[in-house]
């Protein structure tokens, strides 16, 4: 049983699949266009929602605009068992990500719209909700000020926070002392720690800094040794949202008392399954789908 709160972006992903990337001033033909739910915050919430059972609670705090995208995105959150009592509507366009899918990998331009309006300024009930959470999850598609205020509050009230510094920004460093887990990918870790070598950065944050390395898995320092959790080889269809699936599954496992290493293995399996289908949320597994995989471990029991 867990109560997890994700605060972050809710966006519509406009995905163009192409065999050619245009040069400046050039027009090329795409293969296929799709609109699918996305936004790093919503993706992470959905990843947790899919793994959850009826005793778990997943809340999303965020904002959508007043447009047709908002309706579809809210419906999608509801279908994935996310409590949306704290998702606001603001007079803006809903967040949008323009995604180019080329050679099974993505390039993203993100326009925050309503997501930029997520702010703690008028919060009352939200603070009470946070105080009673098992875990709070943050990423970087809402403002730094909002993230910082939440991280400081959670730190003061001893509520654990996973901070996924994606996309990287210069101010990320200010949050680190207030959060419990930091989950950059390799590129984001270089941005965050000004090109320090990996061993030095991991050792500076024992049991706290987890660097994801794509096909090489993930690494953290447990206080004695640097531990690497290998990735599982996948038939990749689309890597979009793999990091969000990883963070969502990690949150679910940690909130349910798995050790860091075991939670990382659980998250690795979830992201292995997610990249085998199209769309950020398309391949996010349910717990039943996880259990069908031979890499599922007996000790992963969830009440």
Q: Site residues (CB under 6 A) for ligand RIB? A: 11, 13, 38-40, 43, 97, 108, 110, 141, 240-241, 243-244, 280
244 is annotated as an active-site residue: yes
User: Is residue 39 a known part of a binding site?
Assistant: yes
Take residue 184 and report the two structure tokens written for it. Answer: 């950059």
69 vs 153, which CB is nearer to ligand RIB?
69
**Which is closer to ligand RIB, CB of 21 or CB of 111?**
111
Active-site option among 56, 83, 180, 244: 244
- Name the strand (E) or helix (H) holding 11: strand 11-18
- C-beta of 300: minimal distance to ligand RIB in Å? 24
Position with the least CB separation from ligand RIB: 38
* Nearest residue (CB) to ligand RIB, 12 versus 129: 12
The minimum distance between CB 279 and ligand RIB, in angstroms, equals 8
User: Is residue 12 marked as binding?
Assistant: yes
Q: Rounded to whole angstroms, how far apart are CA atoms 286 and 290?
A: 6
Would you state the torsion angle of the CA atoms of residues 249, 254, 259, 263, taken in this order, to the nearest 10 degrees?
0
Asked if residue 279 belongs to a known ligand binding site, the reply is: yes
Instruction: Tell me how far apart the alpha carbons of residues 263 and 32 are, in angstroms, rounded to a whole number.
Output: 36
Question: Within 13 A of 261's CA, how many CA atoms are on the CB side?
Answer: 11
**Whole-number minimum distance, CB 35 to ligand RIB, in Å?**
11
- Cβ-based nearer residue to ligand RIB, 74 or 129: 74
Measured on CA atoms in the order 66, 70, 75, 81, is the torsion positive or negative?
A: negative
Please give the Cα distance from 132 to 151 (Å, whole number). Answer: 14
213 is in an annotated binding site: yes
Query: Which position has the token pair 């007043």?
Result: 66
Contact 275, 234 (CB under 8 A): yes
Residues designated catalytic: 244
- Positions at the binding site for ATP: 185, 212-217, 243-244
């Amino acid at each position: 049983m867990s109560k997890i709160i994700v605060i972050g972006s809710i966006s519509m992903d406009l995905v163009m699949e192409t065999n050619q990337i245009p040069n400046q001033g050039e027009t090329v033909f795409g293969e296929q266009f799709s609109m699918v739910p996305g936004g790093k915050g919503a993706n992470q919430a959905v990843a947790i929602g899919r793994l959850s059972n009826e005793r778990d609670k997943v809340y999303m705090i965020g904002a959508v605009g007043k447009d047709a995208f908002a309706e579809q995105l809210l419906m999608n959150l509801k279908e994935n068992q996310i409590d949306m009592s704290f998702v606001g509507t603001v007079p803006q366009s809903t967040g949008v990500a323009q995604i180019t899918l080329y050679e099974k990998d993505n390039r993203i331009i993100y326009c925050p719209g309503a997501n930029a309006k997520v702010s703690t300024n008028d919060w009352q009930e939200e603070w009470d909700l946070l105080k009673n959470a098992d875990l709070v999850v943050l990423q970087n598609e809402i403002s730094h000020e909002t993230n910082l205020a939440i991280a400081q509050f959670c730190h003061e009230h001893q509520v654990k926070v996973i901070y996924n510094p994606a996309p990287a920004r210069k101010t990320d460093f200010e949050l680190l002392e207030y959060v419990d887990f930091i989950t950059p990918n390799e590129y984001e870790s270089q941005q965050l720690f000004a090109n320090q070598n990996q061993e030095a950065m991991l050792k500076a944050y024992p049991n706290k800094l987890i660097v994801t390395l794509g096909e090489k898995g993930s690494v953290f320092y447990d206080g004695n040794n640097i531990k690497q959790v290998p990735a599982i080889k996948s038939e990749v269809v689309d890597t979009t949202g793999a990091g969000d699936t990883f963070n969502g599954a990690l949150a679910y496992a940690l909130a349910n008392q798995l050790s860091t290493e075991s939670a990382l293995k659980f998250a690795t399996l979830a992201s292995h399954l997610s990249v085998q289908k199209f769309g950020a949320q398309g391949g996010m597994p349910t717990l039943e789908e996880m259990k069908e995989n031979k890499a599922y471990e007996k000790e992963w029991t969830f009440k």
